[in-house]
Amino acid sequence: MEEFQRLSRDLIAHGAIIDYYQDTIMVPNGNIAKWDFIKHNGAAAVVPVDDEGRLIMVKQFRNALDRYTLEIPAGGLQSPEEPTRTAAARELSEETGYTSDHLELLLSIRTTVAFCNEKIDIYVADHLVPGSQHLDEDEFVQIFAYSVEELTEMIYSGQIQDSKTVAAILAYKDKYLK
């Protein structure tokens, strides 16, 4: 395999959840390229399954899309060292009000491999215990419950486009509903 060599990585901007770098790379033919790199600490997400087999979803406004989206509960790690299971349990409680001692890793995804290192570990939570949401000051989240069939239809009709949510629902369906 031909070699790529990073010559430098320069921080362009430090943000609240990401850092933006410009990398200088020597490609295999000796040419020099400038590539963007987004550093992310990682995240965790959870597929909450209620006693009726419905998935608990959150609806929230997403600034990047300038619209509301329907997603599985998720959030960034508080530090790169935080266990993703801990973060998934926290996000489940904060966004939905539910808690669970039964979290099982479903899959890990890389959201945008061309320019970002973000990794999201996605868990399944069942045996949900109801409680109340603990939202951040800037979070406004509504919760809904849907069957896997309803959510699958929403994926294929384009209503659900969030990559972690699409991957999670389809992986859950494949693993648990065969």
Contacts 24+ apart (CB under 8 A), 12-18: 17/41, 17/76, 18/116
Catalytic one of 104, 137, 149, 153: 137
CB 86: neighbour CB atoms within 10 A? 13
Name, in order, each residue with C-beta under 8 angstroms of 166's C-beta and a sequence gap of 6 or more: 155, 160
Distances (CA, A) of 152 to 60, 67, 94, 108, 126: 19, 21, 25, 20, 19
Residue 13 CA to residue 99 CA, distance in Å, equals 36
CB 136 within 8 A of CB 17: no
Active site residue 149: no
Residue 57 CA to residue 39 CA, distance in Å, equals 27
Catalytic residue IDs: 137
